[in-house]
Each structure stands twice: as C-alpha cells, then as structure tokens.
Chains A and B, each alone.
Chain A
Amino acid sequence: MTSHPLLEVDGLRVAIRRQDTAPTVLDGVSFAVGASQCLGIVGESGCGKSLTLRAVMGLLPPGIERTGGRIRLSLQPGAAPSDVQADQVAGRGLAMVFQDSHASLDPTMRVGTFIAETVRRRGGTSRSDARRRAVELLASVGVPDPKLRFNAYPHELSGGMRQRVAIALALATDPRVLLCDEPTTALDVTLQAQILRLLDTARAERGLGMVFVSHDIAVIRQIADVVAVMYAGQIIEIGPVSDVLDRPRHPYARALIDAVPSLDGPVGPFRSVPGSPPAPIDYGSACRFLDRCGHRDTACEGVVNGIDGRGAGHRSACVHSGTLASGLEAT
C-alpha cells in the first residue's frame, strides 16, 4: 500500500425492499483495494459476499436496493479515488467475472463479436481494430486458436474455455478493478488452478485491483493478499491472508476455517459450524454470531459493529478477540 487505493467502499448498506419493512442485508461494509492487490472475501452462503460485489457494480437484483454508503474509484492511474455513482462504474473502471460461465454468456452472440463490441464501446476503435484486439484478448487468456474461436458461440466451448472468454470480456473494458464472484467454483480442480493463474497474471501485468469472493478457503489462500471474513452482512474479521487463515481471532472465522477437512489431520467426522446464520429481519445491534458461539457472555449483547476493512493489520469484530486470540490458537 504505497499510494492511493483504487477502489474504496465506505459504509455500504443494502436492504430488501418490502411493503412494510426493509431488512438490511449489508450493514456498513467498508473495504479498500490497491493496485495489484487482491482482497479475498469468505463466508458461508447468504452472508452477503456476492451481494457486496453486485452492490458495488450497481447490479443488484430487482427488489434489493442500496440504501447507503459511498463508492470511490480511481479512474486514472495515480489519481486519488473519487466518488462514483453505482450505475456508472460497470464497464467503466469496474468489471466482473461470474461463477457460472454457462449462464453468464449470451447464448445468441459469437464470443469474438461480444468481445469486439465491448472493446468498441469504450470508443475510438475501428471495427477491424476491435476485432484484432478481441483476437489478442482471446489469445492472452489462453484460448487456443483464437481466430477460430472468435466465431464460436458459448455453447460450443468447454466450461474452462467459457470462463477464459468471460475473463477476456471483463478485460476488454480495460478495468481498474476486477470483481470476481466465485469464478472457479463451477470448474474442476485442474481448471481452477489454471484460471487462478490466469487471473493472477492479469493482476500483475495490468496492476489490477481485485476483489475475489469465494467460499473455498484454499482458493483464497492461493490468490488473495488480504482476506475479509463476512458474517450476516458484516465484515467480522480482516487481515493479511496468512494471519487470518492461520490465526483467526473471531470464533466464527475459527469455526469456518476448522470446517475445511485437512489431508494430514486426523481422520474423523467432518466438522461444521452448528446452527445457521440469523435471517436479515432478525439482525440486531448485538453480535450476530451470538446464538452459535461457544464464547458468548453479556458483553456480546451490547452493540457489536462490523469492522471497517479499510485500515491495515489484522482485526476482528469480536468483543473478546483480545482475550480469545491466544486461547483460540491453542484449540
């Protein structure tokens, strides 16, 4: 972190719009990503990982709305991040790679045409230059025979190839920050490694900022520099990858990481986090992990906020993190 961050999210709040109530599903999520830096976000299903990316992109599903928070994006190299509207950043500084490459590419468009059109949307490119650029992009993401594949439809490509195309599409917008929503989850392990390497190369070569959402802790360990653990719409722990994954401070982070079966550990039943997260309508001001936590006491029932992920260092939202840190490590 030498200069300005590329993307800064400050107090993002998102709510479900209902007739009488508006339950908050993202409650003051803040984080920052610098050039060539990758922020990983982990958490179980429904904790708001993907929703965070959608909200930043301005692509929330119908019925869900951003109710607060600011998004700042550095639009020029070296420039300080400035406030942007959520509906202005998609394809103009921010791009996204989705989980399901089968559903996320338009079935009626040739992949090369789609990439070329995306290149042209930025303006100042002739049709033939855009085509050439599209072939280059296909080659750069490791699509063999890019000239031939230019004319392919998504259904004519394999899953791994489609995800490469999806990445080429995102890169065609020349983004400053790339948001990745579980881009490797639908792929087998060999392909997963290839796609991760590809993303890592793009990040290094282009100085991309990256936010990488996954529930796969092994993947996060491989790609991210900093990891944020989300629970019930808040960031509850953040820090450098090795610190958080090896020495988690929040009881939820500990339980989540413990649930990953290990190859060299003792053979036994799979561990899981007992219970399930509260529904957004039941989010209160107290710690949201309270009901599932083995360390709860009266202090947990006071006001417990998510943490501001913009600062440096390893931090946890747990009121006991100071006293628990050493104890948790021992278990």
Chain B
Amino acid sequence: MSAGRLRFVVGRLAQVLPVLAALLLIVVLLQQMMPGDPARVIAGPRATAEQVVQVRHELGLDRPVFEQFGRHVWNLLQGDLGTSNRTGIPITAIVGDRIGVTVWLLFGGLLVSTLLATPAALLMALRPRSRSARMCSRALTIIINCPPFWVGLMLASVLALGTGWLPVGGFGVDFGDRVRSMILPSLTIGLAAMPLLARSAAASLSQVLTADHVTTARSLGVSGWPLVRRHLLRNALPPAITLLAIQAAALLFGAVIVEQTFGLPGLGAEMITAASQRDFPVVQALTLIFGLAIIAINLLADLAVALLDPRTTWR
C-alpha cells in the first residue's frame, strides 16, 4: 500500500471517532429534546407528582446531562442498550429478534435496485440517444417521484391482492412464507433506491467511456471484456459506490416506512411503535444502531474507493 493510501485509511478511521462521539451525544440529548417526560410515562397516568420525581431519580434523569452521557456510554461499552420502558425487556433482546428482518430487507432492496439499475445504466451510457434510453430516463424520473409507502401500497394491492400469489403483509412462520413476504417490501425499497443509482452509474460510465485513457487503451488493441474490466469498471465504480453509500441513510429510512407498510417485525417498525409509545430507551438504542450502520457503510465505501483508486490520499 502506498504512503498516500495508508494515510487515507488511517485518517479516515480516525475521522470515525468524532463522528461516533457526536452520534452518542445526539442520541443522549434526544431524550432531553423529545416532548413528553419518560418518568411520567413510566410512572403511569395516575401517579402523583412525588412518584414521578421518585421514578425520575431512579432512572438518573435528574442527573446532569454529562453524567447521563457518561453512564450511557459506559453501559454501551458493556453491551447494555438498556431496557424498554414499556415491557421491561432488555433492548439487546428486542434488537436481536428484529435486526434480521431489517438486514434481509436492505439486502433484498439492494439486490433489486442493482438488478434494475445495471441494465438501465448500461443502456443510458452506451446508447444515450436511442428511444429506449430516453424512455428509460423518463421512467426513472417518474419512479423517483413516487413515495415508497405509496409504491408499497400499490404493489400490495396490484400484485398481492390482484393475484393472491404474495402476502399483503406480515411475516410468515416457515421459511418459504418468509421469503415470499420479503418480495414486495424488497421491491418497494429497491425501486426507491434504483433511479439515483442508475443515473449516477450511467453518468460515470459514459464519462469513462469517452475518457482519453480509454481511447489510449483501445489504441493499444484492448477491446471487449478486458477493456470493460481493466479500464472501464475500475474507473467508473468509485463514484457509483460513493453515491450508493450516501444513499444508505435514505435506504434505511425507506426500510422504516416499508416495514410499517407491510407489517414486518423489523427495527424500523419497532422504532415507530416505540416512538408512539414514548419508549425512549428503545428509540435511543435504535437511533444509535441506525447511526452506527450509516457510519459503517460510509466507512466501508470510502475504503473500497481507496482500494480501487490509487490516487486516493488524505487531504
């Protein structure tokens, strides 16, 4: 690894620390900023003012913010996400139950969007003036303007209700049911993420196609698959990867909505339930997990780009 790349990797890893600290701070402060009093929620509607004060003291909510922050971080380091206000179940158990659904949903969405975006990008990059490329571009504009919850409902009413092949919602018990119940949600998320991916991949491909260094490679007799693999893809991938990572946040947000739309027991649906019930520890923990996921995805994307592009250096 060259010095510049090494510097990039070290610098980029170091950059994660302040971002992590900021994320933790925001997650803890979230509690201060949210409307409603968690102590009041736990104590119940009929509790006296004294009881509420008592509960607040037990939870440590009357402590200074810094102390709460320190305690929170300390607990996290020990793998303790806290317990639900409502049910008293440890949040690690809730997350463990539900994270699988969300992860599979995201993978499904990524798979769908890649499968749809790749041919669209190739078409728009290689035959930009063709009729089909223009139609493809128009279709992308329409798709990108459709909100995911609406797309989900449409898919459910047309594909599920219309044919009866696929479940409208819920998460089956056996494996086959579960796979079938993931199809429409994955399609919904994939469709939401696909237009931007297709457009950015098409843009970076068409830029590389006419790049001088590709002409040079062709002048040396490189053609066909070696040209695509050695010279086109390697130069066109980094911008697409970066954009995909930036989209990760939107994809996660899409998952929250889609889980709710299709009644899937994932982290997103749990987040909505917890928020509506003022179950603050759960909201906090899930916000933290989503934040960590986005940090990790962006870190991985940047490292992948550094691996592909030798010019990467720390600025």
Residue positions of A touching B, CB distance < 8 A: 57, 59, 61-62, 90-92, 95-96, 98, 100, 103-109, 117-118, 121, 153, 155, 166, 169-170, 172-173
Contacts and interface: CB of A to CB of B under 8 A. Distances in A.
B191 to A, nearest CB: 31
Contact of A90 (B210, B212, B219, B230): B219
Contacts of A91: 219-222
A121 B213 contact: no
B311 interface: yes
Contact of B309 (A62, A100, A107, A118): A107
B225 to A, nearest CB: 13
A104 B215 contact: yes
B158 interface: no
B221 A104 contact: no
A41 B59 CA distance: 85
A166 B230 contact: no
Interface in B212-260: 212-222, 230-231, 234-235
Contacts of A117: 230
For chain B, give the interface size range.
20 to 34
B205 to A, nearest CB: 13
B68 to A, nearest CB: 49
A91 B215 CA distance: 12
B22 interface: no
A59 B211 CA distance: 12
A57 B219 contact: yes
Given A153-B310, A153-B311, A155-B311, A106 B216 contact: yes
B216 A108 contact: no
Contacts of B216: 96, 98, 104-106, 166, 169
Interface of B: 2, 210-222, 230-231, 234-235, 308-311
Interface of B, secondary structure class, is helix
A107 B222 contact: no
Given A153-B311, A155-B311, A107 B221 contact: no
B210 A61 contact: yes
Contact of B218 (A59, A100, A118, A170): A59
Contact of A103 (B211, B222, B230): B211
B220 A109 contact: no
A117 B227 CA distance: 12
Contacts of A121: 220-222
Nearest to B238: A108
A230 to B, nearest CB: 21
B220 A90 contact: yes
Contact of A95 (B219, B235, B308, B311): B219
A103 B235 CA distance: 13
A105 B235 CA distance: 12
**A108, A118, A121: which has the most chain B beta carbons within 10 Å?**
A108
Contacts of A61: 210
8 contacts: A90-B218, A90-B219, A91-B220, A98-B216, A107-B310, A107-B311, A108-B235, A109-B231
Given A61-B210, A153-B310, A155-B311, A107 B220 contact: no
Given A95-B220, A105-B216, A107-B311, 17 more contacts: A59-B218, A61-B210, A91-B220, A96-B216, A98-B219, A104-B212, A104-B213, A104-B216, A106-B213, A106-B214, A107-B309, A107-B310, A108-B308, A121-B220, A153-B2, A170-B219, A173-B221
Nearest to B129: A63
B215 A107 contact: no
Contacts of B210: 61-62
Given A107-B235, A107-B310, A96 B219 contact: yes
**7 tightest A-B contacts by CB?**
A91-B221, A103-B212, A96-B219, A106-B213, A104-B212, A104-B216, A91-B220
A108 B309 contact: yes
B227 to A, nearest CB: 11
B314 to A, nearest CB: 15
Given A91-B221, A108-B234, A170-B220, A59 B308 contact: no
A161 B216 CA distance: 17
A109 B230 contact: yes
B128 to A, nearest CB: 8
A200 B112 CA distance: 56
Contacts of B2: 153
Contacts of B222: 91, 121
A83 to B, nearest CB: 19
Given A107-B311, A153-B311, A155-B311, A118 B219 contact: no
A90 B221 contact: yes
Contacts of A105: 213, 216
A105 B213 CA distance: 5
